[in-house]
Amino acid sequence: MWTNIRTDLAMEAREMAQERSRQEIPGVNVENVYPAEDISITRVEVVSRQGEENLGKPMGNYITIEAPGIPDRNPEYEEEVKQHLANEIRRLVDLRDDSVILIVGLGNWNVTPDAIGPKVVDKILVTRHIFEYVPDQVDDRMRRICAVAPGVLGITGIETGEIVQGIVDKVKPDLIIAIDALASRKTERIGSTIQIADTGINPGSGIGNKRMGLTEQSLGVPTLAIGVPTVVYAHTIGRDALEMLIREFSQQTDSHSEFYRMLQSLDEQHLNSLVGEVLAEGLGDLVVTPKEVDMLIDDAAGIIADGINLAINKGLSIEDVSRYLH
């Protein structure tokens, strides 16, 4: 019923589109894989303009790894998630032995649910300077990797895209991987779902207010985006509650009655304005998080960083990475 619920996950956008239309979405291919207990992978491909319109996402690949067990912190399970993340990243990128990779941790490090990008950058095995200054310490299995957390407009006074472009001009990477915090429509996905997209970061996506995108088109370099839901907008919770109530009423009502017609006639706009009233001014920025969000984000950051470390080097194990990181 709802078109404007805020989600950055293509998988959720597709689900909602499907709920509305009650059929497969033209221009969108979907594949589901269940590679291990408690891990599922959904590969959504937007293949046409029609698919773009239906999903509100640009053409390209969107892979979602759902790993609801992450909060349990079982080391073996975490390692499995890292390996699957690494595999899915490798499906979308094409690297030479001497490729230079730039990791960009987006978001505001002072705002817990927006800090996942900078936290991932902290745990990336950075090697580019070793190649340049102490080449004899290079392990053959390393690629040239550098990493920055450019901050956000309100902190720097500079568009994130400008900063990244400036650095790209100097470093000339072959691949950019940008990490960002996302909004989901389901609280249980916070910290336990990872989306990988080969379309880069688009303006207005993520939980910060981005004006410019980070895409191959804007930067001139293939750009992979990795995101994790860290918030659900309060608005979404409110709308879900209303939708539930209407569904409940509809079931209890004779379908020939005046009331049933009235319920059916409640249009989207009306419901949106109801939600607007309930949630008053200021709600736009209110987000719902579990109280343990600090911990969830730390854990997710560690998993993403290791997944990237595995994917973009050439055979380093998690233990190797851990040893080199220090």
Position among 36, 126, 138, 212 found at the interface with a copy of itself (CB under 8 A): 126
Residue 267 lies near a copy of itself (rule: CB under 8 A): no
Tell which positions 136-195 bind a copy of itself, by CB under 8 A.
144-151, 153-159, 162-163, 165-171, 187-188
Q: Quick one: which H or E segment has residue 45?
A: strand 39-46
Residue 277 lies near a copy of itself (rule: CB under 8 A): yes
Position among 75, 97, 134, 136 found at the interface with a copy of itself (CB under 8 A): 75
Residue 280 lies near a copy of itself (rule: CB under 8 A): yes
Q: With respect to a copy of itself, which residue has the nearer C-beta, 30 or 171?
A: 171
Residue 261 lies near a copy of itself (rule: CB under 8 A): no
Position among 91, 129, 141, 314 found at the interface with a copy of itself (CB under 8 A): 129
Estimate to the nearest angstrom the gap between the alpha carbon of 249 and the chain centroid: 35
Q: With respect to a copy of itself, which residue has the nearer C-beta, 45 or 159?
A: 159
Binding part of the chain for a copy of itself, among 22-30, 54-62, 120-128, 302-310 by CB under 8 A, reads 120-128
Estimate to the nearest angstrom the gap between the alpha carbon of 167 and the chain centroid: 23
Question: Residue 3 CB, nearest distance to a copy of itself (Å)?
Answer: 18
Beta carbons of 89 and 196 less than 8 angstroms apart: yes
Buried b (16+ CB within 10 A) or exposed e, 106-120: bbbbeebbbbbbbbb
Q: With respect to a copy of itself, which residue has the nearer C-beta, 33 or 293?
A: 293
Residue 30 lies near a copy of itself (rule: CB under 8 A): no
Q: Please write down the HEC assignment for all residues of 67-88.
A: CCCHHHCCHHHHHHHHHHHHHH
CA dist 31 and 152 (Å) reads 35
**Residue 63 neighbours by CB distance under 10 Å:** 26
